[in-house]
Structure 1
Amino acid sequence: MLSQVDVFHDCFDQVDAPRVSGRTIHPLSSILFLVVAATIADADGPEEIECFGNERLDGLGRFADFPEGIPSHDTIGRVLSLIKPDQFQQALLYWHTQLCRTHHDAENQADEAGDSDDQPVHVAIDGKTSRGSYTNAEKSNAIHFVSAWASKHGVTLGQTEVDSKTNEITAIDELLDFIDVRGTIITLDAIGAQKSIAKKIHDEGGDYILAIKDNHPKLAEAIRDHFELVHEMGLTKHGVKSKKTIDEKRARREERFYAVCAIPSEMKAMTDLWAGATSIGQAITQIEEGDKCNVEVRYFLISRPAKVSEFATSVRSHWSVESMHWVMDVVFHDDASRIRTKNATANFTFTRRYVTTLLKRDTTKRSLKQKRKKAGWNTDFLEKLLFAA
């Protein structure tokens, strides 16, 4: 039976080596192992990865081969700029799958694949700009990524760079080609609310909850008018299911109201243009903090039956991908990173997302920052994070 270390190297042997055969001294899988391990252990960027490797060479030698010592930061940066991001992502995700199979019993394996009770898996898709990746004086050409996040399992499923000559809609379409949407509920902000994207999700066996705003003015107005009417006439009387939650912490009060119903007949001609559309939804958030009160009302087009608890959970869970963006900036200093060399930005960004998954799976009552620090100091803790998924 393969050890966990062997499994790692088997996964990363699937990544095409970008260097000339016979002229390399560092195994590719060892370099990639070093990158992942160092990123867990609070290293940000090639220089810090090299430094970490030199300080922890003896411990790292238990898991990877470094016959000529730790590669230089130039070598690390060059390798990550040459390997294909889609192959690197697939290798990381495959490694994660193998770890889970090793450490979970059969019931948990089924849950990892998509919930043993056949409940759909929520996947949030959203975009983020790596603000430090600009090259012009106006800072206007920073690289933007769209990523997919399985909120319940805390796993990044993939990311796609938004090409400067296209837009985020094209990147979302490409990302949907990368992930398996069967048995999922995909949530997307207004920019992703496109008929072509809805059709792709529906045709491939997934469901969607799309935020509808003024980029579809007639549909947005129709949904808004319907909910305003049923609030006046009575929600239950018009087949609307609703739910309200209240969270209070110190001086902050969050009140959330969710309503969902089948698409009304007078709206069918409009919504029939959206493949699979079945329901419409409304989410009202009121946040009171001190003497300030902020109210936000959002409307949605849904390809699922009108289930208010499922709708509320999915809409609320979409925030988790935005929380991931906060983690990337605060814990991994993503916005401060000045890396921009071919594929290097994409590969480093996905490494940070993947490492976040490993850090969050550890149940130790420490912050993510503290876990990264400890992993840098303690090889046993680093090994636990790497191999005890």
Structure 2
Amino acid sequence: MAERLGVLRDPRDRRGRRHALVAVLLTACCAVLAGACSYLAIGQWARHAPQDTLARLGVRAAGPLGVRRAPSGSTIRRILTLVCPGGLADLLGCAPTGARTLAVDGKCARGSRTDAAPAAQLLSAVLTGGRTVSQLRVPDKTTEVTGFTRLLAPFDLAGVVVTADALHTLRDHARWLVEEKKAHFVLVVKRNQPTLHGRRETRSVRTLTVTDLGLDFPHVAQAAKIHRHRTDRKTGKITRETVYTITDLPARAASPQVIGELVRSQWGIEAVHHVRDTTFSEDASKIRTGHEPENMATLRSFAISTLRTAGHRGIVSGLREISYTPFTRPLNLIGLP
């Protein structure tokens, strides 16, 4: 991991650098993996880290006694304000190699809103199981649509089924996925594509082939009608919703059951966002300067991905287990020698 982070450009002036960029980023990664939700908490973790932990993080020894001094919270904050967010997200993400599905969805970091600027809108790509591939910040005064291809362009998606909500059900996105990335798509259809429904909207069958529908959308092979039934465990209230999806996968490759599984994988990205809000207090965070919102969100997603990869189904229980050995377990999980 240290080698991967080593390709990032250091945004600081060459003069006065006390700590290597990689050492600072590794410190932040391990602190968040140990449960730190703020710069104050990251700084406290670093300040209490023993010498052997600092050595593993790559913190330099200084002075005649060779004492290692951890980067301060202000140093960590300054670097996360300046370092390239796209590069950090790609380097800390999970490669989609061998993946079956990849879900794309956006999230608003509400606490980053200021009087002069809107809250940061973050677009993520997440694998089944909650492991994040990458993330980018959507430019202000634009929508997630503008970042779709930019988010996915660096990755080999041949054979991968990309799922997304109705905002990304666009002809250009479908053509780009199939023709340029050699990928497949399962996209939700809502009112932004009214011509796709037509009179077939009343049909009771779950899946229909394109020959039955004649949809005006590139590469579509099937359309599906999915009924959602939800029961609130606290109130017992039942809600029902009908969702329509389109896909380029033919019936022989995607049965109704398979399409249902693919759609559920898209809903799974919401679980990652929920964990970032509830466990890491992302919505309540007032981090808002420079690249801070997206870089801190990347660290939180990295922690979730690392815990998922380590076999922790519950992020809260995983963080609690790490808390028993906070200065060794995080470093072991990310493979630091």
TM-score by length of 1: 0.77
* CA-atom RMSD in angstroms: 2.1
2:171 is the alignment partner of 1:195: yes
User: Of the candidates 114, 121, 124, which is equivalent to residue 135 of structure 1?
Assistant: 114
Cα distance between partner residues in 1 of 2:286 and 2:161: 35
Superposition pairs of residues 77-96 of structure 1, within 5 angstroms: 77-93=77-93
Corresponding residue for residue 13 of structure 2: 20
1:329, distance to aligned residue in structure 2 (A)? 0.6
Cα distance between partner residues in 2 of 1:278 and 1:368: 38
| Number of positions where the alignment pairs a residue of Structure 1 with one of Structure 2 | 322
1:22, distance to aligned residue in structure 2 (A)? 3.6
Cα distance between partner residues in 1 of 2:148 and 2:38: 27
1:262, distance to aligned residue in structure 2 (A)? 1.0
- Any stretches of 5+ residues in structure 1 without a counterpart? 1-7, 98-111, 116-120, 236-258
User: Of the candidates 98, 109, 123, which is equivalent to residue 114 of structure 1?
Assistant: 98
Task: Tell me the secondary structure at the aligned position of residue 197 of structure 1.
Answer: helix
1:308, distance to aligned residue in structure 2 (A)? 1.8
Could you give the per-residue CA deviations for residues 293-325 of structure 1, whole angstroms, max 9, x where no partner exists?
211101111111122222111011111101111
Cα distance between partner residues in 2 of 1:58 and 1:261: 63
After the TM superposition, list the runs of 4 or more consecutive aligned residues in structure 1 that deviate by more than 6 angstroms.
none
Cα distance between partner residues in 1 of 2:173 and 2:39: 37
Corresponding residue for residue 30 of structure 2: 37
2:44 is the alignment partner of 1:57: no
User: Of the candidates 2, 8, 24, which is equivalent to residue 9 of structure 1?
Assistant: 2
Task: Call closer, same or farther: CA 1:350–1:19 in 2, change over 3 Å.
Answer: same
Name which of structure 1's ranges 65-74 and 321-330 shifts more when overlaid on structure 2: 65-74
2:328 is the alignment partner of 1:344: no
1:29, distance to aligned residue in structure 2 (A)? 0.5
Identity %: 24
2:160 is the alignment partner of 1:184: yes
Letter in 2 for 1:56: A
1:45, distance to aligned residue in structure 2 (A)? 2.1
1:63, distance to aligned residue in structure 2 (A)? 1.1
Letter in 2 for 1:126: D
- Any stretches of 5+ residues in structure 2 without a counterpart? 61-67
1:16, distance to aligned residue in structure 2 (A)? 0.4
Task: Call closer, same or farther: CA 1:381–1:223 in 2, change over 3 Å.
Answer: farther
Corresponding residue for residue 108 of structure 1: none
User: Of the candidates 243, 251, 260, which is equivalent to residue 298 of structure 1?
Assistant: 243
Task: Call closer, same or farther: CA 1:313–1:66 in 2, change over 3 Å.
Answer: same
Decide whether the 8 Å contact of 2:33 with 2:303 is kept in 1.
yes
Task: Call closer, same or farther: CA 1:145–1:291 in 2, change over 3 Å.
Answer: closer
Corresponding residue for residue 59 of structure 2: 66
Task: Call closer, same or farther: CA 1:213–1:222 in 2, change over 3 Å.
Answer: farther
Name which of structure 1's ranges 80-89 and 213-222 shifts more when overlaid on structure 2: 213-222
Cα distance between partner residues in 2 of 1:21 and 1:52: 27
TM-score by length of 2: 0.89
Name which of structure 1's ranges 142-151 and 58-67 shifts more when overlaid on structure 2: 58-67
